[in-house]
Amino acid sequence: MKFIVSSSTLLFHLQAVGRVINSKNTISILDNFLFTLSDGEMTVTASDQETTMTTTFEVQESEGKGVFAVSAKMLLDSLKELPDQPLTFEINDANLEIFLYFQNGQFGFVGINGNDYPQRAPMSDTAKTISISSSALLNGINRTSFALGDSDLRPIMNGIYFDIKPDHIVFVASDSQKLACFKNMSVQTGLQTSFILPRKPATLLKNILSKEDGDVTITFDDKNACFRLSDFVLNCRLIEGTYPKYAAVIPQNNPSQLIIDRSVFITALRRVSVFSDQRSSLVKLQLSPDKLVVSARNISFSTSAQESVACSYTGDTMNIGFSANFLIEILNNIASQDISLQLSDPSRAGVITPVVNEPDEDLLILLMPIMLTDF
């Protein structure tokens, strides 16, 4: 086999799929990229058994066809040091000895028989297929992934829930302290179904969707999902189980409402939280008409801070505590200039929404309060 490819093209595709590979694999061949050359096209595969990503791109010239595997670390580390230029690969089909020729030198190494690379499980006959724009999928993942859980006891909460309706789709993530619910009304599937996407494939999709501008085809059954993009295909195991009824935990009667400039609120929280107990990052919000006072204290170090912020507030005077870290994280995931914080009482979750949503989008985030025992 022989092929010629641009170093920048090869490095881009290898870096994209290389994020799948674990630092420690139980099967040694998974430390390698799988290369498949056929009809002037190269397909590169990376896998950790649970998640598999493939990418296909055209090579400049090619002779022959075949399958071989190469150490991912060795190839990536060497290509990072090369300027953009054509690379010539020559592979001995008999012993898989590989020579990589570049402008001022060459690399020599030995590949591995690609036929030993694990194959992904086929989809069942009951698999369903939907189509969604790459921007809608990226927004759904971006707006919810920050709220993902990380618990071995409740693995269901470690994934993004795709609640697919005939005329819209809802993305949900929660770690029991915060819940993000993002609805996109532009996605028309005609189906009533759902699945739970694990954290790792969700993160992998975030990295490649930002460079896509077409539609993504999603095929899934009870155990697996396949995301097909223009140059990439991602296959993954889904999280099995029944996701909690997220709509039931959203408070419906919230008579008190705070409307505030998002960036002003963030900067106040950052300043005040420096003086909070770093274990909880607890800040107190003192709410009264047209005034918000953000305060924090750390009894152990005798530190405290307080800052008044202009706002619009309707409702009874209220003191409520939140984690500043969680609040800042939530506010950073909202695009609107102004946000609304709706409350019922200091013991119930606050409902945070943008004052103005993007067209065909609806974002709602819940945050559980912290008891104010030291104030």
Read off the pTM: 0.93
Residuewise pLDDT in 10s, the chain (375 residues): 999 999 999 999 999 999 999 988 889 999 999 999 998 899 999 999 999 999 999 999 899 899 999 999 999 999 998 999 999 999 999 999 999 999 989 999 999 999 889 888 888 999 999 999 999 999 999 999 999 999 888 999 999 999 999 999 999 999 999 999 999 999 999 999 999 999 999 999 999 998 888 999 999 999 999 999 999 999 999 999 999 999 999 998 899 999 999 999 999 999 999 999 989 999 999 999 889 999 999 988 899 999 999 999 999 999 999 999 999 999 999 999 999 999 999 999 999 999 999 999 999 999 999 998 766
Are 147 and 327 in contact by the 8 Å Cβ rule? The answer is: no
Rounded Cα distance, 253 and 248, in Å: 13
Range list of H helices, the chain: 7-18, 72-79, 134-144, 199-209, 262-273, 324-332
**Element housing 70 (H / E):** strand 66-71
One-character DSSP codes across 188-206: -----EEEEEEHHHHHHHH
Are 193 and 163 in contact by the 8 Å Cβ rule? The answer is: no
Taking every pair of Cα atoms in the chain, the longest distance, rounded to a whole number of angstroms, is 80
Burial of 359 (0-12, 13-18, 19+ CB in 10 A): exposed
